[in-house]
């Protein structure tokens, strides 16, 4: 039976001094945005305090669609399996820069806004990434021509275009309000998987200094637009050393959470390579997090189609081990992928081969879902 430790959670939610004293290792945490809203500061404290209990489980596009369904009120593949929602919801705002009605995954922005508001009312947390188009080519984020990022910097030929994109993002962030009219805090993960070479802002397509300048400009510009409800998530893909992870790091005053993405591949059937890699990466960012007083996370993870019936407790949980991370987010349950003629999903659904093991994973004390962080009225 899952233990909820309601008293501890209530303390965490209220951010009391008692809890802070119990968690001495995190007393030096503070947000990069010194004008962050009280609600955003409270969320950051809550994330910090909950790491003493476990880590939050998240899922991309969880409320919008799942395997063989789309836009059904209050539905979630995770909820279908365990009777509970994820604690963290992932979304992407690519398409916003072009004034599209729907995002890159065909989720209408109006519905996304609705889902973020509904999740927040239940105590859930939303994180947003941005696969924005290549400003130099007009093509998608994967069209990674060298030096594209340089063109968005101050003085660059696409700088004005880029600031217009940031204006649209700022308007979206500021439109996310709860019933009291307060801005909903968001974990914002821009320029993600920066150590990979597949995006126009990634490795090989810009210098570390150019990347840092772009990050800092984005950070400063959004604040100038009055956006103070963001917790900034620095995110890489693979890395093998501390120096590798920090090559493009903009500095402690410009990031709040440090994270990486990691997926198990089909050439690693038993998951031993995945476990070893994640453990090594967690060891590195745990050391960095302690030195810099930053929270840590696995911002994307998964094993496509989860073919291993015991993957959740046999591989995934072992990969995370005893490291104190704030959250982990599984990628989306798209379902049938027509262009690749295969099923594309990363979380279980009713009848999926790993369903029973996911229930066991849900029941672990260290895995936190929405009921575990539900706000106490």
The mean predicted confidence, pLDDT, of the chain is: 92
Return d(Cα 328, Cα 233) in angstroms, integer: 13
Instruction: For residue 70, give both structure tokens.
Output: 């789309």
pLDDT at 1 over 60: no
Cβ atoms of 290 and 336 within 8 Å: the answer is no
The percentage of the chain sitting over the pLDDT mark of 90, rounded to a whole number, equals 87
Q: What is the pLDDT of residue 335?
A: 84
Q: What is the pLDDT of residue 64?
A: 97
Nearest alpha carbon to residue 221 among 272, 273, 164? 164
Integer angstrom CA distances of residue 329 from 61, 89, 184, 225 = 11, 8, 19, 29
Q: What is the pLDDT of residue 374?
A: 75
Model confidence over 269-286: pLDDT tens digits?
999 999 999 999 999 999
- How many Å is the Cα radius of gyration of the chain? 20
Q: What is the pLDDT of residue 20?
A: 32
pLDDT at 8 over 90: no
For residues 66-77, average pLDDT: 96
Least confident among 1-10, 349-358, 367-376: 1-10
Nearest alpha carbon to residue 346 among 363, 358, 362, 364? 358
The catalytic residue positions are: 193, 300
Model confidence over 201-249: pLDDT tens digits?
999 999 999 999 999 999 999 999 999 999 999 999 999 999 999 999 9
Q: What is the pLDDT of residue 18?
A: 34
Return d(Cα 158, Cα 256) in angstroms, integer: 28
pLDDT at 177 over 70: yes
Q: What is the 3-class SS of 143-196, one letter each residue?
A: CCCCCCHHHHCCCCCCHHHHHHHHHHHHHHHHHCECCCCCECCEEEECCCCCCC
Question: What one-character-per-residue DSSP string does 51-113 give?
Answer: TTT-EEEEEETTTTEETTEES-TT--HHHHHHSS--SEEEEE-TTGGGT-SB-TTS-BHHHHH
Q: What is the pLDDT of residue 29?
A: 82
Model confidence over 338-370: pLDDT tens digits?
777 778 999 999 999 999 999 999 999 999 999
Residue in this structure with the two tokens 């209220």, named with its chain if needed = 14
Which residues 6+ apart lie within 8 Å of 228 measured at CB?
Answer: 33, 35, 36, 37, 40, 183
Cβ atoms of 64 and 90 within 8 Å: the answer is no
130 is in an annotated binding site: no
Return d(Cα 229, Cα 227) in angstroms, integer: 6
Higher-confidence residue: 342 or 183?
183
Nearest alpha carbon to residue 315 among 278, 351, 280, 348? 278
Model confidence over 105-142: pLDDT tens digits?
999 999 999 999 999 999 999 999 999 999 999 999 99
Domains in the chain, start-ordered, CATH in brackets?
6-373 (3.20.20.80)
Q: How far is CA 209 from the centre of its chain?
A: 24
pLDDT at 11 over 90: no
**What counts of helices (H) and strands (E) characterise the chain?**
13, 13
Cβ atoms of 233 and 189 within 8 Å: the answer is yes
> Which letter does DSSP use for residue 365 in this model?
T
Which residues 6+ apart lie within 8 Å of 107 measured at CB?
Answer: 61, 64, 65, 91
59 is in an annotated binding site: no
Q: How many residues does the chain have?
A: 377
Interhelix angle 109-122/159-175, rounded to 10 degrees, is 40
Model confidence over 17-51: pLDDT tens digits?
333 333 334 557 899 999 999 999 999 999 999 99
Return d(Cα 167, Cα 229) in angstroms, integer: 15
Q: What is the pLDDT of residue 12?
A: 45
Q: How confident is the model at residue 6 (pLDDT cuts 50, 70, 90)?
A: very low
312 is in an annotated binding site: no
Q: What is the pLDDT of residue 15?
A: 41
pLDDT at 4 over 50: no
Return d(Cα 218, Cα 274) in angstroms, integer: 33
Count of other CB atoms within 10 angstroms of residue 285: 27
pLDDT at 74 over 90: yes
For residues 295-317, average pLDDT: 98
Ramachandran angles phi, psi of 194, nearest 5°: -70, -20
Q: What is the pLDDT of residue 27?
A: 55
* 3-class DSSP assignment, residue 34: coil
Q: Which residues of 215-240 are buried (b: 16+ CB within 10 A; e: fewer)?
A: bebbbebbbebebbbbbbbbbbbebe
The percentage of the chain sitting over the pLDDT mark of 70, rounded to a whole number, equals 92
């Amino acid at each position: 039976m899952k233990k909820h430790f309601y008293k501890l959670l209530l303390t965490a939610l209220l951010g009391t001094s008692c809890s802070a004293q119990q968690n001495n290792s995190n007393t030096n945490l503070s947000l990069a945005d010194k004008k962050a809203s009280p609600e955003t500061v409270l969320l950051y404290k809550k994330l910090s305090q909950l790491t003493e209990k476990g880590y939050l489980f998240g899922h991309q596009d969880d409320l919008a669609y799942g395997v063989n369904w789309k836009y059904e009120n209050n539905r979630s593949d995770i909820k279908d399996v365990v009777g509970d929602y994820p604690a963290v919801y992932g979304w992407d705002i690519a398409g916003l820069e072009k004034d599209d009605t729907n995002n890159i995954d065909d989720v209408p922005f109006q519905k996304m806004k609705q889902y973020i508001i509904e999740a927040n009312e239940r105590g859930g947390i939303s994180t947003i990434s941005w696969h924005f188009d290549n400003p130099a080519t007009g093509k998608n984020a994967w069209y990674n021509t060298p030096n594209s990022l340089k063109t968005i910097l101050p003085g660059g030929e696409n700088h004005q275009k880029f600031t217009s994109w940031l204006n649209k993002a700022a308007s979206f962030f500021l439109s996310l309000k709860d019933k009291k009219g307060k801005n909903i805090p968001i974990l914002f993960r821009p320029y993600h998987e920066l150590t990979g070479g597949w995006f126009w802002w990634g490795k090989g397509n810009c210098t570390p200094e150019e990347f840092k300048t772009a990050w800092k400009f984005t950070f400063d510009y959004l604040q100038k637009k009055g956006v103070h409800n963001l917790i900034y998530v620095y995110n890489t893909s693979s890395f093998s050393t501390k120096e590798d992870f920090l090559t493009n790091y903009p500095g402690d005053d410009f990031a709040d959470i440090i994270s990486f993405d990691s997926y198990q591949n089909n050439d690693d059937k038993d998951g031993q390579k995945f476990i070893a890699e994640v453990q090594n990466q967690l060891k590195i960012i745990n050391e960095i997090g302690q030195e810099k007083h930053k929270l840590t996370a696995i911002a994307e993870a998964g094993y496509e189609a989860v073919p291993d019936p015991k993957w959740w407790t046999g591989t995934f949980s072992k990969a995370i081990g005893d490291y104190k991370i704030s959250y982990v987010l599984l990628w989306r349950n798209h379902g049938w992928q027509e262009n690749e003629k295969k099923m594309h999903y990363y979380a279980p659904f009713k009848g999926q081969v790993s369903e029973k093991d996911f229930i066991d994973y849900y029941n672990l004390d260290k895995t936190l879902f929405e009921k575990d962080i539900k706000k106490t009225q």
